[in-house]
C-alpha cells in the first residue's frame, strides 16, 4: 500500500480500538507497580502496608542478575580480510554504549518486561540536539531509548508482532520547538496539551499535581507510528489534525525502530505473561497473612486479675520492679491472664506461603544469596548455577533481544558517512594503549558480512571477591602447570601488576606500599634455568559418602511449622530447627 492511500481518520479509529484493548494491561501494570513501591512511596502507593515486599525483592534480584553493566560487543566475520574491521566495529559499539548510557536504558527495558512488556526504540537523530522524554539526543548519533508501556501502541487485532499494521510511541516536545523548528509541517491545528494527571497513570504514582501545574513551558503530545507495510514513519499529534506533521520513508534496519522484550509467550495472544503478574497472588497472600499476624500481636495483652479483698496485693504486684521480692497475704488470689496473641496456625500458613513464594519466583533465596544451602563456597556456587532455570531462560531472552538492538545500532554506525568514534586498542606484545579514530573510510564490505553477538557474561555483575576467586582458579589450574612452557617461550607474569590487582580486589591499598619492586640492571640478569614439568606425587584417595544435615531457612521454617501445628519432630528436623 502506498502512503497516499492512507486515511488518517481510519488510522485514528484503529489506534483508539487498540488503545482500549491495552487499557486492561496498563491498569494491571499500575497495580503491580503499586505493590512494588508499597505504601510509603509518594501518594499513589498501596492503601495498606506491604511489610513483606516480595515483588520488590524479586524484581531487584532479577534485574541485577540480568543487566548489571553495559554489554561488550563481539563482531565476527567469515571473511579474513574483514576481521580487522569487525574488531574495530566492536570497539566502536562499546564506545557508543558508554556514550548513550546504554546500560541505563537496558535496565529500565528489562524492568518494564518484568511488569508487562519491554519496548526499546532505536534510531538515528537527524535534527539538532533536542530533549525527548528526558533523553538528550545529539545530531547524527544513534540512540536506544526505552519506551514506557503507557506510551506504547500496537495493532491488537493480530496474534504475532510481525503481523502488526502499526507500532508507535507517544512523547512530548516543547510547543515552541514544534511550531518554529521547521522540522514539522501542517502545524496550524496543533495545540499545546497539559501533562496527564490521571491517577490511573503509573507516572503519577510518586507525585500529585493539578492540570497544567509544574511545567515551565507548553508542550505537545506527539506520536511516532511505524507502518511496516507502507514502510513509512508518521508523526502525528493528539490534536488529531487531518494531515501528519511529518512523514519519513523508513530506510533503517529491516526489523524497524522498535525492539520488544518479553519473558513468557501466551499461545494465540499478542501480549506476554509478565513474571510479576505470576508472582502477585503469593505476594498478596503472604502480606495478608503477615498483616493478620501483626494485628494479632497488637491485640495480645497480659493482665493481672485478683479476687475481691486483694486490692492492695494486686497494686503492690503491679508497682513492683522486675526481680524484686514482695510480701502478699494470699498469692492464690492473683492470677496473670493472657488474651489474644499470634495464632500458631496463621504463623505456620505464613511460613509456608513465604517458602512457596520463593519456589514460584525460581528459588529466589538461592539466587539472591539470602540463604546458605551448602557448607562450602564451591558447593554454593554449583547450587546457584543450577537452582533457577527460569533465570537462565530470562537471560537468553534478554541476550537475544539485546543483540537485536545492538545490530540496529551497528547498522547506523556502518552506514553513517560522518562517523568518527575514538577507539582504544593495545599494541600487541606491549602494555601501550593508543586511541585511533574509527571513520567511514575504515569500513569495508557489506553489513551482511558481519555477525553480531554479546560476549558471554559481560552483562552480569561480578564482585571483586568473585573476580579474585576466578584469578586464583586460573592461576592454580592453568598458569602454574604451564609455567615451564611460559619460560621456554620467554613469557613472564607481571608480578607488580599482579599485586596491584590483588590490592584493588581485596580493598587493601596498603599492599602496594608493603611490597616494592626494584628493577634489575640489564647486565646483571642471570639466565633462568627452565625447570622440568613437576610430577604429581603419588597419593591414595578414599572416597566416603557422608550424609550431613545443613541448616537452611526452608528447613527451619518447615520444622517450625510442624512444631506450631503440634506435630512431633524427627531428630533431624529438631536439629535443623535449633542448629546455631
Q: Is residue 85, in this structure, part of any structural domain at all?
A: no
**pLDDT per residue as tens digits for the range 360-380:** 888 888 877 665 554 454 544
- Residue 429: φ, ψ to 5°: 65, 20
Rounded percentage of the chain residues whose pLDDT exceeds 70: 78
Better pLDDT: 53 or 310: 53
Q: Which of 183-197, 227-241, 277-291, 393-407 comes out lowest in average pLDDT?
A: 183-197
135 has a pLDDT exceeding 60: no
The answer to whether residue 508 sits within a structural domain is yes
Of 137 and 48, the one with more pLDDT: 48
| Residue 133 domain flag | no
Q: Is 562 among the domain residues?
A: yes
Joined together, the cell numbers standing for residue 51 give: 511489610
Instruction: Evaluate whether residue 527 is within a structural domain.
Output: no
Better pLDDT: 54 or 379: 54
CB 37 within 8 A of CB 53: no
Same domain, 510 and 468: yes
Please tell me the distance from the alpha carbon of residue 151 to that of residue 19, in angstroms, as a whole number.
Answer: 10
Highest mean predicted confidence (pLDDT) among 34-43, 325-334, 470-479: 34-43
Measuring CA to CA, which residue among 150, 159, 153, 119 is closest to residue 18? 153
Check residue 510 and give its pLDDT.
77
Write the CB contacts of 136 (distance below 8 Å, at least 6 apart in sequence). 129, 130
pLDDT top residue among 125 and 199: 125
Question: Looking at residue 126, what is its pLDDT?
Answer: 67
Its pTM stands at 0.78
Q: Tell me whether residue 493 is in a domain.
A: yes
Q: Rounded CA gap, 502 and 479, in Å?
A: 16
Domain of residue 560: give its range. 549-580
Cα-based angle 75, 79, 81 (whole degrees, multiple of 5):
95
Residue 1 has pLDDT above 50, yes or no: no
Q: At 488, is the secondary structure helix, strand, or coil?
A: helix
**300 against 509, higher pLDDT:** 300
As a whole number of angstroms, the distance between CA 565 and CA 140 comes to 68
State the average pLDDT over residues 424-441.
75
**Helical spans, DSSP H, in 236-339:** 275-299, 311-319
Res 512 pLDDT > 80: no
> Per the domain annotation, does 340 fall within a domain?
no
For residue 70, what pLDDT band results from cuts at 50, 70 and 90?
A: confident
End-to-end CA distance of the chain: 73
Question: Does residue 218 or residue 452 have the better pLDDT?
Answer: 218
| C-beta pairs of 330-334 under 8 Å, 24+ apart in sequence | 333/306, 333/307, 333/309, 334/304, 334/305, 334/306, 334/307, 334/310
Query: Is the per-residue pLDDT at 389 higher than 60?
Result: yes
For residue range 176-211, list pLDDT tens digits in order.
Answer: 998 988 888 888 888 888 776 666 788 888 776 555
Digit-coded pLDDT (tens) for 276-332: 999 999 999 999 999 999 999 999 998 888 898 888 888 888 888 888 888 888 888
Average pLDDT across the chain, whole number: 81
Inform me whether the pLDDT recorded for 535 exceeds 60. Answer: no
Q: What is the pLDDT of residue 485?
A: 79
Distance of CA 169 to the CA centre of its chain: 23
504 lies in some domain: yes
Query: Are 28 and 277 a contacting pair, CB within 8 Å?
Result: yes
Domains contained in the chain, number: 2
Is a pLDDT exceeding 70 seen at residue 127? no
555-572 average pLDDT score:
61
Instruction: Give the single-character DSSP code of 320.
Output: S
Amino acid at each position: 500500500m502506498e502512503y497516499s492511500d492512507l486515511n488518517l481518520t481510519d488510522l485514528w479509529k484503529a489506534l483508539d480500538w487498540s488503545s482500549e484493548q491495552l487499557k486492561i494491561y496498563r491498569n494491571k501494570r499500575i497495580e503491580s507497580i503499586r505493590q512494588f513501591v508499597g505504601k510509603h512511596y509518594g501518594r499513589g502507593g498501596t492503601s495498606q502496608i506491604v511489610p513483606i515486599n516480595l515483588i520488590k525483592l524479586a524484581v531487584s534480584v532479577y534485574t541485577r542478575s540480568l543487566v548489571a553493566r553495559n554489554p561488550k560487543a563481539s563482531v565476527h566475520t567469515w571473511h579474513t580480510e574483514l576481521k580487522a574491521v569487525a574488531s574495530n566495529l566492536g570497539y566502536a559499539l562499546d564506545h557508543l554504549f558508554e556514550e548513550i548510557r546504554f546500560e541505563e536504558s537496558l535496565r529500565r527495558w528489562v524492568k518494564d518486561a518484568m511488569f508487562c512488556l519491554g519496548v526499546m526504540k532505536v534510531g538515528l537523530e537527524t535534527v539538532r540536539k533536542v530533549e525527548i522524554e528526558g533523553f538528550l539526543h545529539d545530531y547524527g548519533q544513534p540512540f536506544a531509548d526505552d519506551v514506557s508501556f503507557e506510551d506504547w501502541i500496537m495493532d491488537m487485532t493480530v496474534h504475532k508482532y510481525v503481523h502488526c499494521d502499526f507500532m508507535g510511541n507517544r512523547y512530548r516536545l516543547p510547543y515552541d520547538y514544534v511550531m518554529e523548528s521547521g522540522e514539522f509541517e501542517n502545524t496550524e491545528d496543533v495545540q499545546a496539551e497539559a501533562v496527564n494527571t490521571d491517577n490511573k497513570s503509573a507516572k503519577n504514582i510518586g507525585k500529585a499535581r493539578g492540570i497544567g501545574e509544574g511545567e515551565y513551558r507548553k508542550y505537545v503530545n506527539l506520536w511516532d507510528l511505524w507502518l511496516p507495510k507502507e514502510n513509512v514513519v508518521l508523526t502525528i499529534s493528539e490534536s488529531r489534525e487531518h494531515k501528519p506533521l511529518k512523514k519519513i520513508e523508513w530506510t533503517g534496519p529491516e526489523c524497524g525502530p522498535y525492539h520488544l522484550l518479553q519473558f513468557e509467550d501466551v499461545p494465540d495472544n499478542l501480549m506476554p505473561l509478565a513474571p510479576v503478574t505470576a508472582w502477585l497472588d503469593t505476594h498478596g497472600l503472604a502480606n495478608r497473612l503477615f498483616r493478620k499476624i501483626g494485628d494479632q500481636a497488637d491485640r495480645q495483652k497480659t493482665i493481672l486479675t485478683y479476687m475481691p479483698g486483694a486490692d492492695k496485693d494486686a497494686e503492690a504486684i503491679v508497682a513492683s520492679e522486675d526481680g524484686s521480692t514482695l510480701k502478699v497475704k494470699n498469692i492464690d488470689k492473683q492470677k496473670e491472664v493472657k488474651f489474644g496473641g499470634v495464632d500458631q496456625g496463621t504463623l505456620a500458613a505464613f511460613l509456608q506461603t513465604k517458602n512457596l513464594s520463593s519456589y514460584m519466583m525460581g528459588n529466589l533465596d538461592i539466587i539472591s544469596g539470602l540463604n546458605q544451602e551448602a557448607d562450602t563456597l564451591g558447593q554454593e556456587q554449583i547450587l546457584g548455577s543450577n537452582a533457577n532455570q527460569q533465570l537462565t531462560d530470562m537471560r537468553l531472552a534478554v541476550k537475544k533481544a539485546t543483540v537485536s538492538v545492538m545490530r540496529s545500532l551497528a547498522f547506523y554506525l556502518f552506514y553513517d558517512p560522518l562517523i568518527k568514534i575514538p577507539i582504544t586498542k593495545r599494541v600487541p606484545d606491549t602494555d601501550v594503549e593508543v586511541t585511533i579514530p574509527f571513520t567511514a573510510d575504515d569500513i569495508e564490505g557489506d553489513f551482511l558480512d558481519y555477525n553480531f553477538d554479546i560476549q558471554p557474561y559481560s552483562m552480569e555483575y561480578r564482585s571483586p571477591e568473585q573476580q579474585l576467586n576466578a584469578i586464583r582458579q586460573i592461576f592454580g589450574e592453568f598458569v602454574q602447570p604451564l609455567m615451564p612452557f611460559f619460560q621456554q617461550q620467554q613469557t613472564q607474569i607481571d608480578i607488580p601488576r599482579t599485586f596491584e590487582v590483588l590490592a584493588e580486589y581485596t580493598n587493601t591499598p596498603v599492599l602496594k606500599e608493603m611490597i616494592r619492586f626494584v628493577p634489575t640492571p640489564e647486565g646483571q640478569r642471570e639466565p633462568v634455568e627452565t625447570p622440568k614439568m613437576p610430577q604429581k606425587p603419588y597419593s591414595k584417595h578414599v572416597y566416603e559418602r557422608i550424609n550431613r544435615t545443613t541448616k537452611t531457612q526452608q528447613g527451619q521454617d518447615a520444622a517450625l511449622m510442624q512444631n506450631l501445628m503440634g506435630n512431633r519432630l524427627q531428630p533431624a528436623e529438631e536439629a535443623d530447627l535449633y542448629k546455631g
